[in-house]
Amino acid sequence: MIYFYDGSRDAFLTAFLLAYHDEDAVLTSGGKQLALGQGSVFVKADPARAQKAEKRLAEFDRQCLDEISTILRSGDLDRDMVAFRYVMLISKLQKPIRSMLSEDAVIAATECIRRVGFEVHRFHGFVRFMETPCGALYAPISPDNDIADLLVPHFRARLPEYPFVIHDVKRKKAAVYDGSHVFTAPLDRAEVVLSADEQAWKRLWKDYYESVNIPSRERLHQMRGYMPVRYWRFMPEKHSL
């Protein structure tokens, strides 16, 4: 049976309970091609069921619920099955399994969590804010994983006096810090007016970027490895102004 769900944690946990005894279960929140002869069902989040699953899993391993949330944020197409196989093994063994590092389900889950965490770390560096006339900051991003709101605590801690918006243009949502509260909201397109000096600081940053490079030691391959081209879209230093 194929279990479609909307990608949310509650729906995942509901689907997990439904699929528990189904040996051929396939969980998916993306557009999975239907195999011939395979039945399918659309699973809606059922808070009561989700809570039951949550409670059960927490008995075996409290930390795994956070791990599942992280895996479901992944942009990988097989994230649903990675999370499913991981919780299935936890339920089977009835204990934490994260250090069983030669188990396939654990390897896949660990890798997935590592990639999401790594992208969060990268974006702590790669986010580029622009300043608006009132001093609020705006940063468009287009990450592989759904991490916009995970970036907020880091920037809030270092820029507590600056309201900011981190806009995931791919997923059309924004993580917002208004100076005291944090929330997320759907956001398709944003009209941003820039402060008077914004262009000049961007210009200086580009100058700096060019001056600090050592042209005779060109290692483009290495640069792209550390800073993949797909992330350049919103970095002023990688564009001519």
Partner 1 sequence: MISEERLHILTESAKFDVSCSSSGSKRKNEGGMGNGYASGCCHSFTPDGRCISLLKILLSNDCIYRCKYCMNRADSDIPRATATPDEICELVCNFYKRNYIEGLFLSSAVFCSPDHTMEQLFLTVKKLREEYNFHGYIHVKGIPHADERLVRETALYADRMSYNIELPSEQSLKLLAPQKSRESLLPPMLHLQRDREIFRAEKRKGHFLPAGQTTQMIVGASPESDGTIVRLSQSLYRNVGLKRVYYSSYVPVVHDSLLPENPAGERREHRLYQADWLLRFYGFEAEELVPEGGNLSAELDPKCDWALRNMHLFPVEVNSAPLETLLRVPGIGARSAYKITEARRYTNLTFESLKKMRVVLKRARHFITAGGKFYGTDSPAAVRELLIAGEPRDAVQLSMFSDIETAHSALTGEL
Give contact residues for partner 1 (rule: CB under 8 A). 99-104, 107, 121, 124-131, 137, 139, 155, 157-162, 197, 200-205, 207-209, 211-223, 226-227, 235, 237
Q: What is the nearest approach in angstroms of partner 1 to the Cβ of residue 117? A: 12
Q: Label the pairing between strands 2-4 and 40-42.
A: parallel
* Alpha-carbon torsion (214, 220, 221, 223), positive or negative: positive
Distance CA 232, CA 140 (A): 11
Distance CA 105, CA 18 (A): 20
Q: What is the nearest approach in angstroms of partner 1 to the Cβ of residue 155? A: 8
Distance CA 122, CA 128 (A): 12
CB nearer to partner 1: pick between 222 and 240:
222
Q: What is the nearest approach in angstroms of partner 1 to the Cβ of residue 168? A: 16
DSSP, residue by residue, 135-156? S-EEEEE--SSS-HHHHHHHHH
Q: What is the nearest approach in angstroms of partner 1 to the Cβ of residue 92? A: 14
CB nearer to partner 1: pick between 24 and 197:
197
CB nearer to partner 1: pick between 54 and 76:
76
CB nearer to partner 1: pick between 33 and 99:
99
Tokens of 241: 């102004």
